[in-house]
Amino acid sequence: MNAKPRLERLFAPDGNCFDVAVDHGVFHNPEFLAGIEDLPRAVATLVDAAPDAIQLGPGQARLLQHRAGREKPALVLRGDSSNLYGPDRPAELFCLLNAAPVETALRWDAAALVLNLFYAPGQTSLYRQCLANIAAARPDCDRFGMPLMIEPLVLEPGRRGDYESSADATAIAALVRQAVELGADLVKCDPPAAAADFHRLVEAAGGIPVLARGGGRMNELAVFERTREFMRQGARGIVYGRNIIQHPHPRRMTRALMAIVHSGATAEEAAGILARE
């Protein structure tokens, strides 16, 4: 089946997408839950803000898909779980594919399924699991027309003994290229340290849409400036979580970023939207 109809639901008519990620609970890190302790309320706030999509785990997809009415964001469904994001580095890292992820995505009428592709030094087993997960899901995605979003993340040891995302453009581009060659219909990846280098990731994707991943909290103006540069460098959108859900005004923040993604607003114009809404 053709995945294009579902992709058309995910991307706005201008070809861009803003996906708000609130699937943080599947990673079992208490720090990630700030701002979404009451997830039904958080999802309701996001629906009102009207991003293009909301990313959820299978156990919480109902919070979006059971809402009445036609006008609501598309669902991007998380298809795996990992212990990589814990506050301490565990003795054994894993990334496990959920049971029947494509069937689950179909039952919840998702617009896309998202899977991780982790690459960390010395963690061959984790890397192999991610490759196996993608290989297992890709044939069913083809069979049923379910777009596969792959999230390639290059990781390096962090200061607290955990792992942090790498900002090395060369390393990220190589993993983006692998994700595309494994069959990604769209890619969600970390941006490089210099936002002006984002075009290198777009080039590595060879025409497959690339969405910039948000990561940890930043100053609002810095978020706006970097987002605008990502879009100038060829990104087809963004997937932000903590910079939305941990903000005091998530609705306003969503509207401001939507203006950048879809209307080409400047950082200053986005800041004005954040201030006045």
Name residues whose C-beta falls within 8 Å of residue 58's C-beta, 6 or more positions apart in sequence: 77, 78, 98, 101, 104, 108
The residues near 248 (Cβ < 8 Å, ≥ 6 apart) are: none
**Tens-place pLDDT, residues 43-83:** 999 999 999 999 999 999 999 999 988 889 999 999 999 98
pTM of the predicted model, to two decimals? Answer: 0.95
- Please determine, for residue 114, whether its predicted confidence score (pLDDT) is greater than 60: yes
CATH assignment at residue 204: 3.20.20.70
Domain count, the chain: 1
Q: Using the 8-state DSSP alphabet, how is residue 163 labeled?
A: E
Note the pLDDT of residue 161. Answer: 59
Helix (H, G, I), strand (E, B) or coil at 95: strand
Q: Are 160 and 31 in contact, with CB atoms under 8 Å apart?
A: no
Q: For position 2, what pLDDT does the model report?
A: 87
- What does the alpha-carbon distance between residue 67 and residue 234 come to, in Å, rounded to a whole number? 34
What is residue 87's predicted lDDT score, i.e. its pLDDT? 67
Least reliable range by pLDDT among 80-89, 221-230, 233-242, 257-266: 80-89
Domain of 226, in residue numbers:
4-276
